[in-house]
Each structure stands twice: as C-alpha cells, then as structure tokens.
Amino acid sequence: MAVGDRTFSRNSAESLARKIVALLRAGGFTQFIELDDGDTEAVSQRETVEDKTDDYTLDEEDFGKLLTMTNAGAKTFTLPAVDAEDIGLYVKFAKLGAGSVIIQAGGADTIDDSAGGGTMYNDLADELHAEIVLRVRAAGKWISEAPKGVGWRTS
C-alpha cells in the first residue's frame, strides 16, 4: 500500500489502518459505512458504552469508549502500553457499583503521578457514579481529565 511517497508492507499497512480507526474512534467517529465505490466513510455518533462486571484488559479498540464497571468487589481495568503514535487518544471510565475500580497502567506506563506500572483507583463505596477520563499525553504517559467524584487516587 502506498501513501504519498511512502510504501507500507501488508503488516505495517494493517497496523496503520488500526491506528487510524483508533484515532477516528477517539474523535467520536465510531461507525464506518462502506460506500458504493468501495471507499469507507466514518460517521460520528454517540460514544460506545460497554459495561464490564469483571477484570478487563483494554486494547486499541477501546479508545474513545466509555467503559463502566458494575460490581460490589474490587475489579481492575488494565490499560494497554502506549507510545507516541497514541498521543491524544482517550478512554472514559465509570464506577457504577460500590466496589473498588482499579485502573492498572500497562507495562512501565504511568498515570498522572503514579509510579511506572502504577494504578489509579477509586475505592469509596458511597461513590456509585464516579467517572474519569484518561488521555495519552506522551509515550508511556496517561493523564486524568474531568474526574467526577473525590475518590480517584494514584499509587
């Protein structure tokens, strides 16, 4: 596949296509429609919401989504390790039950002021609708935005 003056192998072209889809999803484009001429058009719509009830490991498909956790116990979302190509992508999280929500950084990545491979968590049982957005700010660096609730902390 050629883009401008660069040629990509099949594997790098597929990787590039996945990154483009992740970027479009992060920008609110979550539906893709194949046109009659074979091209694909991205369509903006409401963000995708997925409810989880058990530990969950995120991948590139989760960028731009709202992931909710409904559980009475402690459950963990594990973030993917991120690099410079992921800057600007985000994931929203909502704690809907009384249980603790733990967000584990992938690899040696950090979340705000956490240690490498650290966590962000909310363990306040009475915060039943706490939310937070995590955005990739740099390679290996997630930052929190727009927290709802006072219980979000890093470790």
130 pLDDT band, cuts 50/70/90, is very high
Instruction: Tell me how many domains the chain contains.
Output: 1
Q: Give me the amino acid identity at 65.
A: K
Give a yes or no: residue 22 inside a domain. Answer: no
Q: Is 75 a member of any domain?
A: yes
Residue-range definition of the domain harbouring residue 120:
47-154
In a domain, 8, yes or no: no
- Would 31 be classed as within a structural domain? no
In a domain, 102, yes or no: yes
pLDDT above 70 covers what percent of the chain? 74
Query: Does residue 145 lie within any of the structural domains?
Result: yes
Lowest mean pLDDT among 9-13, 18-22, 129-133: 9-13
pTM > 0.75: no
Give the per-residue pLDDT at 39.
64
